Structure 1
């Protein structure tokens, strides 16, 4: 490849103009020392950088951007870096999910409004990756994503500790009196010991792998540690490659096809990926008008075993995953289930990329003949009168003995209400209780926070209980574990059945049958429904109110309804 297909680059509408318009566009960029030959018709490459001190996962992306620029220059392009909104998962409140769509709008409109022929997206933290993908998808330029990479493995007392996963474990050990506050603080200093995103198979690592599986990131790039020199080599090669994609007019939508989405869903099952991937892939498909349904995540994953032995489903971390062969080694194990003729940003088919895959550690990446977990133990989609539009559970991180369970509900109308009660020794709860927290969905909280992995009641922790069935219309961190039923839709704030549950009701979970049932007769539910009234919106103005009014439910990916589909990147209109 490399033969120019474009009759005219988008950027020509700015820099190729005669008279005052061309003068203005070129002259002001020359104030940075840009020589005139950079405006000679070469591809202009945007570098969308989500660097921010407030987003620790992405705080090293300035250096990554410099390597992308080198590659663009080497390939004969003109790189222009620009900032995007950035979403710091560990810092922002109430939830970065509230702002994923806003960040995508920022990316979309920046790309549409500027003289950009192709773009390299730089992201890493949980919502920055899908937000940039969604924004770029709506404009449909040639696109490559380079993620920032995971942190080095945490080490404490001679053992590996993982982002999030061990935070939840340690905090419950402290509450149960099994770990001292001093040790808890010491572990805090040992966990996040380098630049990069979470090094467990949380949402950040999952979305990096998903992007690679879609063909939108360089093959083999997802798992490279953030501090590894090969991360910067990948960035430089991406800078070169995006110039070729522009010259060949290979656009986002030509790579992210239905077949590519099917590959991503199956890859997510094989790696034991985050339930958040369901929301992000549904939203991305909506931007591209690719037909994708919630049921696809269950149906397509049923034949896929869990192969990757990483926290929270297993024992290792992303650094080990990279040394074991990374995502290509996983996808090669299940290549008979994949659409191998899809094209990737490497301008090779998936089959060509996987032919070069190497597998170095059969304990970290298990062979398909000896998987970590058998086929059908990935994300399960549940239906029933408690979640008619669906709910999800990550089976690989749940307790097998709770996959079928019947218990009485203990209901809370907010996570704050639950937090106030959870350590009360008089709380009427036992190991069979089904904990329900609601009004934490997309519009209700707002922003669908990661609170679904409810902390267990202290008195049960002291009794040695380690897991319970928990149900919410919220999300949970991809680093979390437990028998946690998430994304119950429709959510409570819009009158979904979860809003009708009362303490003492019987709830029956049957994951093998894919059902979640509230054992209350329909006449009684009708009475409760008639007495229900919607909560007051959490905001009266600004973006948050717009979000509340327009956000779709979890089964559609929580995008804003008016952002479905893409309008492409038209030739610019005259500005003056």
Structure 2
């Protein structure tokens, strides 16, 4: 068996070979233990600031055991992590930095296969991007979702219930005492959000893409099966090295089509649109924004989970989890696509059991029919914008309203709850200069409902931005407007009082201004934010727009035929 690591440890130069073997021995790795065996790099992403990924501190030991049992040799290493709760103003730019960390570590080190420990929103896509670019056998292991909390006798989920209760608090329906009590009880265990937010969505999509073992994406963090999944992942990656089963063989164009259909069926996060586009782009596969709408057409919502439904990830797991969903969705999929086992979707998921039809429905009797991603374009979004149909309660056809424009997140927070704000339920709230270049594209797109409307019982209205929203959020939020305002997109030209029309039937997003009026207004435009130093300056100089996945332009091959990964020259360090 020819191994990539042989280039380091069986190098023809005695000097080079000596250096590498001596360096391994210094850490207790004697040559007799690892030479000739698949060396598995285990990329650990836990930190004391990332509660989502914290279980990997323990799970990594079970991965190592699996690798050893299968005849491989495990080496643990750490990458940066991207805790969504803490990284400000946005964790999205650090997705790309983490992807580079994974890719460059694989490129530079004697690794034959990789296990990547993920969970939090950006760690999963970051690792998939790095794996796609390096293209050595790779698998992901998720930490699992946290348990739901309990607030005054009722189950509450970190994410969706938090946004709902925040509206109640702002409307004066929750006291300060109750708000403090909620903070203490809504998130009491480690793991990802217990709803179908970005974390859960990306784990499900990873399994569909063949990058996570079947049946492991939706196991709770506290369940004993997590340890089983870790050990099995360790065993399987050794087999994948021997089989030469690489990400490019798994993450094919057909696999991405399947993932887009699954995204609609589970009511997944809008962030997944950016992430799938970026992952595919690393493989030279282009996913036009319109493709998400085309492939979602006719795919109903099969999963009754927050934020599009009622239940939690624990309920989903007990009802059969992702296995059951893929089993029921098979007639709509390319069932010949490969799983991480090297077998087809048909072989793995056909006949998967589902135990609760109120949580996992059938194609014939779905939970909802009008779901998936709506793609909008027009003079306000020439390169497109998106709306999550399943999360919108306000508009299902056409809406026309006057804009209330906020030039920044700070401007929005300063004015949104003012009694002087001239707003009603038909108004269109617009937030700009929050796109990839402007602010790193934070999850600011789910603008809060103005307090004066909350008091009247309004819980949804049309909101438009060049930002993202949390996968746990809900509402009529039109997101990812491209090109962004900071780049001089038309969003920069509109003013409060302009009339905006949204037409979901025609797929248009239009401001009632002529092209000439927009050009005239833009003569006075100038960028609002400038990044002067550090990684954010590099990011702003290189980042693609939302419709292209917000990756860095120099990390994408021009086509599938271009080999993205270049092996290092091995010599003295």
TM-score where L is the length of structure 1? 0.96
Give 1:65's aligned residue: 60
Per-residue deviation at 1:34? Answer: 2.4
Q: Is the 8 A contact 1:10 1:571 kept in 2?
A: no
Q: Is the 8 A contact 1:26 1:39 kept in 2?
A: no
What SS does structure 1 have at the residue aligned with 2:437? coil
Per-residue deviation at 1:166? Answer: 1.2
Q: Does 1:151 align with 2:162?
A: no
What SS does structure 1 have at the residue aligned with 2:353? coil
Per-residue deviation at 1:171? Answer: 1.1
Deviates more, 1:180-189 or 1:460-469: 180-189
What SS does structure 1 have at the residue aligned with 2:364? coil
Counterpart pick for 1:444 among 438, 445, 457: 438
Q: Is the 8 A contact 1:307 1:366 kept in 2?
A: yes
Per-residue deviation at 1:392? Answer: 0.4
Deviates more, 1:417-426 or 1:9-18: 9-18
Equivalent pairs counted in the alignment come to: 567
Give 1:547's aligned residue: 539
Per-residue deviation at 1:531? Answer: 2.5
- Alpha-carbon displacement from aligned partner over 1:34-72 (angstroms, at most 9, x marks no partner): 233223311000001111111110111121111110000
Counterpart pick for 2:135 among 140, 163, 166: 140
What SS does structure 1 have at the residue aligned with 2:381? coil
Give 1:198's aligned residue: 193
What SS does structure 2 have at the residue aligned with 1:9? coil
- Alpha-carbon displacement from aligned partner over 1:100-145 (angstroms, at most 9, x marks no partner): 1111111110000000011001010000111111111111000111
Q: Tell me how large the CA RMSD over aligned residues is.
A: 1.3
Assess, with a 3 A threshold, how the Cα gap between structure 1 residues 492 and 386 changes in structure 2: closer, same or farther: same
Assess, with a 3 A threshold, how the Cα gap between structure 1 residues 401 and 488 changes in structure 2: closer, same or farther: closer
What is the rounded CA distance, in whole Å, between the counterparts of 2:229 and 2:236 in structure 1?
Answer: 10
Counterpart pick for 1:567 among 542, 555, 564: 564
Q: Does 1:500 align with 2:497?
A: no
What SS does structure 1 have at the residue aligned with 2:436? coil
Give 1:227's aligned residue: 222
What is the rounded CA distance, in whole Å, between the counterparts of 2:275 and 2:170 in structure 1?
Answer: 34
Counterpart pick for 1:469 among 458, 462, 470: 462
Counterpart pick for 1:107 among 99, 102, 105: 102
- Alpha-carbon displacement from aligned partner over 1:377-413 (angstroms, at most 9, x marks no partner): 2111111111010000011010154642100000010
Give 2:271's aligned residue: 276
Give 2:35's aligned residue: 40
What is the rounded CA distance, in whole Å, between the counterparts of 1:192 and 1:245 in structure 2?
Answer: 37
Give 2:427's aligned residue: 433
What is the rounded CA distance, in whole Å, between the counterparts of 2:54 and 2:62 in structure 1?
Answer: 15
Per-residue deviation at 1:369? Answer: 1.7
What SS does structure 2 have at the residue aligned with 1:498? helix
Q: Does 1:535 align with 2:528?
A: yes
What SS does structure 2 have at the residue aligned with 1:409? strand
Give 2:44's aligned residue: 49
Give 2:415's aligned residue: 421
- Alpha-carbon displacement from aligned partner over 1:483-521 (angstroms, at most 9, x marks no partner): 000000000001111111111000001112211111112
Give 2:285's aligned residue: 290
Q: Does 1:353 align with 2:345?
A: no
Per-residue deviation at 1:535? Answer: 3.2
Give 1:372's aligned residue: 367
Q: Does 1:176 align with 2:162?
A: no
What is the rounded CA distance, in whole Å, between the counterparts of 2:357 and 2:51 in structure 1?
Answer: 32
Gaps of 5+ in 2: 558-562
Give 1:485's aligned residue: 478
Counterpart pick for 2:379 among 373, 378, 385: 385
What is the rounded CA distance, in whole Å, between the counterparts of 1:443 and 1:195 in structure 2?
Answer: 32
Per-residue deviation at 1:456? Answer: 0.8
- Alpha-carbon displacement from aligned partner over 1:58-111 (angstroms, at most 9, x marks no partner): 111121111110000001101111000101101111110121111111111000
Q: Is the 8 A contact 2:138 2:237 kept in 1?
A: yes
- Alpha-carbon displacement from aligned partner over 1:321-378 (angstroms, at most 9, x marks no partner): 111111121111121110111112112111111125211111111122221111x421
What SS does structure 2 have at the residue aligned with 1:300? helix
Counterpart pick for 1:453 among 446, 451, 461: 446
Gaps of 5+ in 1: none
Give 2:235's aligned residue: 240
What SS does structure 1 have at the residue aligned with 2:19? helix
What is the rounded CA distance, in whole Å, between the counterparts of 1:161 and 1:555 in structure 2?
Answer: 34
